[in-house]
């Protein structure tokens, strides 16, 4: 069981997952996770993200194929041996027992303690370190039910971290989190990655995955496409992926356009020294479903003024000016 | 560590309280035996009259010993159910496990009408089988339905269904058998004979030790089965042990003492409240201690000191346990939390 280390911490071979023989979700997967690599699994609801993660670590039985964990088939490990190699954070944040953060994180040392579960000073050191790592040291005695979703998720991650496994698997760790918390959490995971852990997590949030993950697994039409975020981006996969859903994806900026249909196009004229007004104006246009194209009939110029900025719209022969983006937005909506 | 000192304090407090109640319970009755005489008798310095000794060793001690065993065993069942089903309202009584045991007992008492040592063993075994069957059904259902409320409602339905069948059996049974069954169903700690006490002790004490040894694993189960498995808990073996210990513990107590309600569900919550922590390594022993205190106290109350009346123990424990459950439901709206 010990000795030489396999190249891949996880290696899936003809891996087929699903519930019964006639209801398979994903077929013949050949995927790998390298050591010290962060993999983001992306796909819509119901495409089998959870099932794949759970099958990969032996919580569900695959329909066919093998999964090599650290070079050996999953079934060759006993559950305690597996617990030394993979830790897991499930997507469910509800139904947690009334534990304090400290009690929860100490549970992570379970695979290393004797039959009475007594923690050594080394175990307690690791618990303290994990709490520091997720910035929850001050929360040690707080009960889980009194934490925010973000804090609770960090506590769950600290529990997995303290299990001290080369591979951490997280099912939708950011599902209940707002954008700042999501980024904070994924950055936390990338710090673990930098410390040599392998991380596999599933998410809806392509934006943070593009930013932080080393490799993406994208579930698309019953297949999984594997590659670095940039490779997959260049292949035009994301535009294709989201075109059907009414969510626009701008392949040049790597951004999503969330309104269904395009209202029109605007050309942005002039140059400003400061970037912020341009960025926020772009965001407004994006939100309203306006594309930005040079040479469009509607021209938008941002001028600095004594009170800040003025937005000037030039349309055919008419000229309108706006003191803020809100009034600009109202105008553009009514124009349509 | 503050929480640790608190736990130690609680254990000492409960221990002293238990000793006091234990001695008080031995004193109460038609013939008074003073504490001094009792202690003198134990150390051999004084002796009790023959009558006093008979009362003490044949009646009072077995009764209190029964109370202690029931008090230690039932909360362990409740605690294991609450952790396994991750439901604060789970308990052998609520989930119908006690009813399963009652049904087994009813078959023996009403149906066969066996007597003597055969009856004792058959009563116990029938209760184990009854409790085990309900446990199996619950486990089977809980594999398919993850919703905790559904499991709880099913448990209540199982127990109502079994109660209905038992009442049909009562309707068709003979007057003498009926009477002994009705008395049994009110619960009693005093009807346990010396031979039965031995069976109880043999069935219960090893299992209580086993659950203590399994407290680390129960901690792992708190986050649910999936987490438990990823933390190296051998889940099949654990389920089997929880299943067997709960059935046998609840079955044995129910067979010999009748259905004793609300100790199983309420006492673990009392222990959690006292300790303010959920670590089973402390929670299990403290639940046992608390349960013993509550049972001996209930026994004292049921004897209505100063009168010759004896209340059914089931009524007393229910009146103690029900407020705890109501408090749990009303005050603790986060009903998901254990």
How confident is the model at residue A2, as a pLDDT? 45
A317-326, B25-34, B79-88, B327-336: least confident range: B327-336
CB A93 within 8 A of CB A149: yes
Please state, in angstroms and rounded to a whole number, the distance separating the CA atoms of residues A149 and B336: 16
Closest CA to B21 of B68, B91, B89: B68
pLDDT at B224: 86
Q: Which residues of B touch A83 (CB under 8 A)?
A: 230-232
Report residue B134 as tokens.
Answer: 């309900």
Count, residues in chain A = 336
Of B3, B148, B222, which is closest to A97 when you measure between CB atoms? B222
pLDDT digits (tens, 9 = 90+) for B117-175: 556 778 888 888 998 899 888 888 877 776 667 777 888 898 899 989 998 988 888 88
Binning pLDDT at 50, 70 and 90, where does residue B280 land? very high
Instruction: For domain B2-331, give its CATH number from 3.40.50.300, 1.10.3470.10, 2.60.40.10, 3.40.1190.20.
Output: 1.10.3470.10
Which residues contact residue B185 at a Cβ distance below 8 angstroms, ignoring those fewer than 6 apart?
B102, B258, B259, B314
CB nearest B220 (choices: A54, A58, A110): A110
Q: Give which of A137, A65, A68 is closest to A100, Cα–Cα.
A: A137
Whether the per-residue pLDDT at A108 is higher than 60: the answer is yes
pLDDT at A47: 86
**Beta strands A167-170 and A86-89, pairing class:** parallel
In angstroms, what CA-CA distances link B309 with A2, B27, B30, B61, B100?
70, 16, 11, 19, 30
pLDDT for residue B316 is more than 80: yes
The span from the CA of B253 to the CA of B69, in Å, is 8
* Three-state SS at A174: coil
Is B234 close to A79, i.e. CB distance below 8 A?
yes
Q: Which helix (H) or strand (E) holds A27?
A: strand A23-34
Range with the lowest mean pLDDT among A210-214, A260-264, B132-136, B246-250? A260-264
CA-CA distance, B80 to B90, in Å (whole number)? 9
> Across chain B, which distance is largest between two alpha carbons, in Å?
64
In this prediction, residue B51 carries a pLDDT of 83
- Mean pLDDT taken over chain A: 86
Task: Evaluate whether A56 touches A10 at the Cβ level (below 8 Å).
Answer: yes
Rounded Cα distance, B71 and B79, in Å: 13
Q: How confident is the model at residue B115 (pLDDT cuts 50, 70, 90)?
A: low
Confirm or reject contact between B237 and chain A (CB < 8 A): no
Higher pLDDT, B295 or B312: B295
CB A142 within 8 A of CB A100: yes
What is the pTM for the complete model shown?
A: 0.81
- pLDDT for the residue A94: 66
Query: Are B335 and B329 contacting, i.e. CB atoms less than 8 angstroms apart?
Result: yes
State whether B223 and A111 contact (CB < 8 Å).
no
Cβ of A95 within 8 Å of Cβ of B278? The answer is no
From A81's Cα to the closest Cα of chain B, the distance in A is 7
Q: Which of B90, B232, B273, B275 to mutate to test the interface with A (most CBs of A within 10 A)?
A: B232
Report d(CA A307, CA A304) in Å as an integer: 8
What is residue B33's three-state secondary structure? coil
* Encoded tokens for A336: 């349509």
pLDDT of residue B124: 82
Report the residue from A80, A107, A141 with minimal CB separation from B219.
Answer: A107
pLDDT computed for residue A236 by the predictor = 78
Instruction: Specify whether the CB–CB gap between A243 and A249 falls below 8 A.
Output: yes
Region B2-18 average pLDDT: 91
Chain A residues whose beta carbon lies within 8 Å of the beta carbon of residue B279? 103
Cβ contacts of B210 within 8 Å, gap of 6 or more: B241, B245
Among the residue ranges A236-250, A261-275, B171-185, B280-294, the one predicted with the least confidence is A236-250
Q: Are B282 and B275 in contact (CB under 8 A)?
A: yes
Residue B336 pLDDT grade (very low, low, confident, very high; cuts 50, 70, 90)? very low
- Which among A82, A85, A96 is the top mutation candidate for probing chain B, defined by the most B β-carbons within 10 Å of its own β-carbon? A96
Q: Does the distance separating the beta carbons of B232 and A82 come in below 8 Å?
A: yes
DSSP A131-150: HHHTT-GGGTTSBGGGS-HH
In Å, how far from its chain's centre is CA B329? Answer: 21
> From chain A, which residues contact B within 8 Å (Cβ)?
54, 57-59, 78-84, 86-88, 90, 92, 94-100, 103-104, 107-108, 110-111, 113, 115-117, 141, 145, 163
Checking if the pLDDT of A20 tops 80, the result is: no
Query: Does A8-246 carry CATH code 3.40.50.10380?
Result: no
Report residue A147 CA to chain centroid gap.
Answer: 22
**By C-alpha distance, which of B157, B149, B144 is closest to B100?**
B157
Closest to B334 in 3D by CA, of A127, A313, A147:
A147
**pLDDT (0 to 100) of residue B192:** 79
Q: In this complex, do A107 and B224 lie within 8 Å of one another by their Cβ atoms?
A: no
Nearest CA in chain A to B2: A141
Residue A3 pLDDT > 70: no
The torsion angles phi and psi of A156, rounded to 5 degrees, stand at: -65, -40
Q: Decide if B222 and A99 are in contact by the 8 Å CB cutoff.
A: yes
Tens-digit pLDDT profile for residues A66-103: 999 999 999 999 999 999 999 999 987 766 778 899 99
Contacts by residues A137-141 (CB-CB < 8 Å, ≥ 24 positions apart): A139/A101, A140/A100, A140/A101, A140/A102, A141/A100, A141/A101, A141/A102, A141/B3
In the DSSP assignment, the letter for residue B54 is: H
B219–chain A Cβ distance below 8 A for any pair: yes
Across the beta sheet with A8-20, the strand order is A23-34, A8-20, A64-69, A72-73
Q: Where does residue A213 fall: left (phi above 0), alpha (psi -120 to 50 degrees), or beta otherwise?
A: beta
State whether B278 and A97 contact (CB < 8 Å). yes
What is B147-206 written as a DSSP string?
-HHHHHHHHHHHHHHHHHHHHHHHHTS-HHHHHHHHHHHH--STT--HHHHHHHHHHHHH
Band the pLDDT of B282: cuts 50, 70, 90: very high
Mean pLDDT of B266-289: 92
**A131-135, A295-299, B93-97: which is most confident:** A131-135
The residues spanned by each domain of chain A are: 8-246, 264-335
Candidate from B17-21, B66-70, B105-109 with smallest mean pLDDT: B105-109
Residues of A within 8 A of B235 (CB-CB) are: 79
Mean pLDDT is lowest, of A1-10, A160-169, B102-111, B238-247, for: A1-10
Chain B contact set for A111 (CB, 8 A): 231-232
| B residues 80..109 contacting A (CB < 8 A) | 86
| Residue ranges with strand state E in chain A | 8-20, 23-34, 38-42, 64-69, 72-73, 86-89, 167-170, 198-203, 215-220, 223-227, 248-250, 255-257, 264-269, 290-292, 298-305, 308-315, 318-322
Contact B249, B212 (CB under 8 A): no
Contact: A145, B215; criterion CB under 8 Å: no
What's the rounded mean pLDDT across residues B9-21? Answer: 95
ipTM of the prediction: 0.81
* Region A295-316 average pLDDT: 86
Pick the CATH number of A264-335 from 3.30.160, 3.30.110, 1.25.40, 2.30.30: 3.30.160
Over the stretch A95-104, which tens digit does the pLDDT of each residue have?
677 889 999 9
Taking residues A51-72, report their average pLDDT: 92
Option in A98, A104, A116 nearest B216 (CB) = A116
Nearest to B278 among A84, A90, A98 (CB): A98
If you average pLDDT over residues B172-192, what whole number do you get? 82
Query: B234: which chain A residues are within 8 Å (Cβ-Cβ)?
Result: 78-80
Q: What is the pLDDT of residue B335?
A: 44
Length, in residues, of chain B: 338
DSSP string over B102-158: HHHHHIIIIII---HHHHHHHHHHHHHHHHHHHHHHHHHHHHH---HHHHHHHHHHH
How many residue contacts between A and B have a Cβ separation below 8 Å? 84
pLDDT for A51 equals 92
pLDDT of residue A150: 87
């Amino acid at each position: 069981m010990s000795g030489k280390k396999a190249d891949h911490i996880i290696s899936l071979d003809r891996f087929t997952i699903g519930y019964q023989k006639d209801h398979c979700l994903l077929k013949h997967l050949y995927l790998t996770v390298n050591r010290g690599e962060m993999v983001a699994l992306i796909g819509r609801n119901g495409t089998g993200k959870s099932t794949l993660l759970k099958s990969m670590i032996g919580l569900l039985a695959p329909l066919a194929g093998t999964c090599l964990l650290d070079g050996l088939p999953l079934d060759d490990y006993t559950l305690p041996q597996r617990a030394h190699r993979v830790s897991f954070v499930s997507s469910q944040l509800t139904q947690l027992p009334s534990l304090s953060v400290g009690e929860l994180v100490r549970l992570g040392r379970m695979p290393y303690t004797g039959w009475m579960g007594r923690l050594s000073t080394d175990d307690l050191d690791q618990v303290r370190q994990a709490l520091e790592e997720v910035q929850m040291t001050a929360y040690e005695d707080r009960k889980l039910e009194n934490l925010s979703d973000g804090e609770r998720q960090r506590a769950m991650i600290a529990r997995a971290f303290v299990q001290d496994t080369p591979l951490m698997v997280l099912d939708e760790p950011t599902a209940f989190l707002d954008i700042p918390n999501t980024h904070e959490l994924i950055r936390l995971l990338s710090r673990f990655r930098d410390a040599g852990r392998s991380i596999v997590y599933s998410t809806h949030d392509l934006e943070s995955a593009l930013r932080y993950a080393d490799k993406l697994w994208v579930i698309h039409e019953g297949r999984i496409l594997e590659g670095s975020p940039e490779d997959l981006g260049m292949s035009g996969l994301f535009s294709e992926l989201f075109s059907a859903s009414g969510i626009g994806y701008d392949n040049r900026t790597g951004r999503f356009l969330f309104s269904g249909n395009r209202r029109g196009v605007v050309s942005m004229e002039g140059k400003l020294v400061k970037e912020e007004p341009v960025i926020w104006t772009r965001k407004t246009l994006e939100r309203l479903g306006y594309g930005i194209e040079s040479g469009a009939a509607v021209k938008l110029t941002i001028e600095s003024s004594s009170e800040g900025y003025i937005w000037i719209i030039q349309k055919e022969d008419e000229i309108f000016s706006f003191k803020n983006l809100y009034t600009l937005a109202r105008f553009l909506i009514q124009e349509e | 560590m503050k929480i640790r000192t608190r736990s130690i304090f609680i254990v000492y407090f409960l221990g002293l309280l238990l000793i006091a109640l234990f001695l008080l319970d031995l004193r109460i009755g038609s013939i008074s035996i003073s504490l001094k005489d009792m202690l003198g008798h134990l150390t051999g310095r004084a002796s009790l009259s023959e009558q006093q000794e008979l009362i003490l060793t044949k009646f009072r001690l077995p009764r209190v010993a029964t109370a202690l065993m029931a008090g230690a065993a039932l909360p362990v069942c409740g605690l294991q159910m609450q952790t396994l089903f991750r439901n604060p309202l789970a308990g052998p009584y609520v989930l119908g496990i006690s009813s399963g045991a009652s049904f087994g007992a009813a078959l023996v008492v009403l149906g066969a009408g066996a007597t003597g040592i055969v009856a004792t063993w058959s009563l116990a075994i029938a209760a184990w089988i009854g409790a085990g069957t309900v446990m199996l059904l619950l486990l089977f259902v809980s594999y398919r339905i993850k919703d905790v409320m559904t499991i709880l409602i099913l448990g209540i339905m199982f127990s109502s269904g079994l109660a209905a069948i038992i009442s049909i059996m009562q309707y068709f049974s003979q007057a003498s058998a009926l009477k002994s069954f009705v008395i049994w169903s009110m619960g009693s700690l005093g009807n346990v004979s010396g031979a039965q006490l031995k069976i109880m002790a043999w069935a219960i004490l090893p299992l209580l030790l086993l659950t203590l040894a399994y407290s680390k694993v129960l901690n792992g189960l708190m986050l649910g089965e999936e987490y438990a498995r990823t933390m190296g808990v051998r889940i099949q073996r654990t389920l089997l042990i929880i299943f067997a210990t709960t059935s046998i513990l609840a079955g044995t107590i129910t067979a010999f003492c009748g259905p004793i309600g609300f100790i199983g569900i309420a006492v673990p919550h009392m222990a959690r409240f006292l300790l303010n922590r959920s670590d089973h390594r402390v929670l299990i022993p403290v639940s046992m201690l608390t349960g013993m205190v509550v049972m001996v106290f209930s026994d004292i109350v049921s004897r209505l000191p100063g009168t010759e009346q004896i209340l059914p123990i089931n009524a007393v424990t229910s009146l103690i346990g029900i407020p705890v459950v109501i408090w749990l439901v009303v005050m603790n709206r986060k009903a998901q939390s254990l």
